Amino acid sequence: MSKIPQNPEVIVVGAGTAGLSAATALLAAGIETVVLEAAAHTGGRCVTDTTTFSAPFDRGGSWLHSVSLNPLARLAEQRGAVLHKAPWLWSHVHTEGYDLTSDEVLAYRGYQEAMWLAINNRGAETPDTTTAAAMPDGPFKTSATCSIPQMMAGDADLVSAADVYNYADAKGDWLVGGGLGAFIQDLHPGIPTQLNCPVSKIDYNGTGVEVTTPQGVLKAKHLILTVSTGVLASGAIEFVPALPIQKQDAVEMLPNGLLNKVGIEFDPAWCDATQGQIADYHTGDDAFCSLLFGFFETSIATGFLAGRFGEALEKEGVGAATDYCLQGLRTVFGNDVTKYVLRTDETNWSTNALTLGSYSYSKPGGAGARKVLAETLDERIFFAGEATMTETYATVHGAFLSGQQAAERVIATRVGASATLTRLKI
Ligand SMILES: Cc1cc2nc3c(=O)[nH]c(=O)nc-3n(C[C@H](O)[C@H](O)[C@H](O)COP(=O)(O)OP(=O)(O)OC[C@H]3O[C@@H](n4cnc5c(N)ncnc54)[C@H](O)[C@@H]3O)c2cc1C
């Protein structure tokens, strides 16, 4: 970390991907900037754990999605990063007491493709509706409905079809060797960051901004705010004056949904599933997990639990999500499989006070709220973070781009200010 400037021109709140990319762009433009981060580490929702397992485990974001449209994928290529490009496909599906045959698994894959196409088509129409209302009929509809929160972090009956339509999707999801969180860290060295520094108040009454933290009050001309919509909705940060009602409505329309991970490391002697395979496990209602095998071409699998069910398990207590995944493993591969499990760990993003969820989804009718959330307030408070991005929300590259765009808006405001002064002089 670099030295913390006492009178920065810009304060960035949050050292996740958006905050780091905003600060990097500002510093490159010669603008004195400080990042205030509540946690004891940087990275936010994109952080690599290198100690729990024998290989890196991304506790949050791990894939570079839509690689042809993803600037981080270009950067990873330029930097010679090790890239794991193998596609992920369903090999096993257990649905409410029944194991699909291999032909049925193929049909399940086909239904998944048709389902996203139907949701996208419906999302292009008005008025907006839920993804659940846009699902085509078919034998796999019930289980596939439970897989929606695995992508959107919100349940199918809560999520806007228009927001899905707006998302810029393209084929290709890559993993970066060493973990995506570690890659993002390496991309943003030397940023003056104050850790363990939760911002509790942002005052933009006078000129500039005044920020209250346990370490004291800091002033700056501009502020870039990158915290999640979960944190914004919680009231953990007081705004003086209060955020305009349109902003508050936008936050309300963009809840921070939930995707949790359970890391499961196997003895390499267990070879019943290989890199790129997915097993879906559905036991009724919204009880569902997906198990993805061979992360970073190792013997680490990740279980994904999302939406209401993920939240219920997280509330139930430590180990509940892991138990459900292990139950799924035993059901799909036989009771012996758990003998090969060396270690496990699970995330708890919905109760993490610094995120209060994993990533944002839009309620029906709320897809336009992302633009409102991104709007600058009084030419002083600039908003960034994944939720502000209409086409790349819920992603690491969206957060990265949002930080750069907020920095560009700060720079444009400064240019605008000097241009105005010049005109006044004339
Ligand atoms: C389980 C999971 C899996 C995911 N998978 C993928 C994936 O494979 N690919 C992908 O592209 N995306 C994925 N995502 C989404 C991606 O990780 C996020 O969209 C992205 O990391 C968000 O970055 P951000 O900078 O917008 O927010 P954050 O990373 O949340 O950054 C905000 C920062 O603000 C800090 N903060 C909060 N409150 C305060 C305060 N009061 N004062 C100061 N600081 C504060 C937080 O600690 C945090 O560091 C996943 C997310 C999760 C949780």
**In the structure encoding, which two tokens stand for residue 392, read together?**
């790349």
CA–CA separation, 24 and 292 (whole Å): 34
Q: What is the number of the ligand 1 atom nearest to the C-alpha of 213?
A: 42
Residue nearest to atom 11 of ligand 1 (CA): 395
Residue 2: what pLDDT? Answer: 56
Q: What is the number of the ligand 1 atom nearest to the C-alpha of 261?
A: 1
Residue 423: what pLDDT? Answer: 29
417 CA distance to ligand 1 middle (Å): 32
Q: What is the number of the ligand 1 atom nearest to the C-alpha of 398?
A: 19
Task: Give the residue, out of 34, 35, 37, 46, with the most ligand 1 atoms within 8 A of its beta carbon, to mutate for a pocket test.
Answer: 46
Residue 3: what pLDDT? Answer: 63
Where are the chain's structural domains? 10-46+178-255+355-425, 88-171+259-346
61 CA distance to ligand 1 middle (Å): 8
Contact of 84 with 175, CB cutoff 8 Å: yes
Q: What is the number of the ligand 1 atom nearest to the C-alpha of 354?
A: 37
Reported in sequence order, the residue ranges of 108-208 that DSSP labels E, i.e. its strands, are 174-176, 193-194, 201-203
CATH topology of domain 10-46+178-255+355-425: FAD/NAD(P)-binding domain (3.50.50)
Ligand 1, CB within 6 Å, residue ranges: 13-19, 36-39, 44-46, 60-63, 65, 198-199, 226-228, 231, 236-237, 259, 261, 347, 349, 354-355, 358-359, 385-386, 394-397, 399
> At residue 111, what is the residue type?
Y
Helix (H, G, I), strand (E, B) or coil at 265: strand
Contact of 26 with 408, CB cutoff 8 Å: no
Q: What is the number of the ligand 1 atom nearest to the C-alpha of 355?
A: 30
What is the CATH code of the structural domain delimited by 88-171+259-346? 3.90.660.10
299 CA distance to ligand 1 middle (Å): 26
> At residue 251, what is the residue type?
V
Residue with tokens 């993920």: 310
Residue 416: what pLDDT? Answer: 63
Residue 4: what pLDDT? Answer: 74
14 CA distance to ligand 1 middle (Å): 9
Task: Give the residue, out of 209, 234, 359, 397, with the most ligand 1 atoms within 8 A of its beta carbon, to mutate for a pocket test.
Answer: 359
Residue with tokens 């049925």: 104
**In the structure encoding, which two tokens stand for residue 193, read together?**
């960051």
Residue with tokens 């969180």: 181
Task: Give the residue, out of 45, 169, 345, 354, with the most ligand 1 atoms within 8 A of its beta carbon, to mutate for a pocket test.
Answer: 45
> At residue 57, what is the residue type?
F
CA–CA separation, 346 and 418 (whole Å): 51
pTM of the model: 0.97
> At residue 312, what is the residue type?
A
The pLDDT averaged over each successive group of 10 residues in the chain (426 residues) is: 77 98 98 98 98 97 98 98 96 97 98 98 98 96 97 98 97 96 98 98 95 96 98 98 98 98 97 95 97 93 98 98 98 97 98 98 98 97 98 98 98 68 28
> At residue 139, what is the residue type?
P
CA–CA separation, 262 and 318 (whole Å): 11
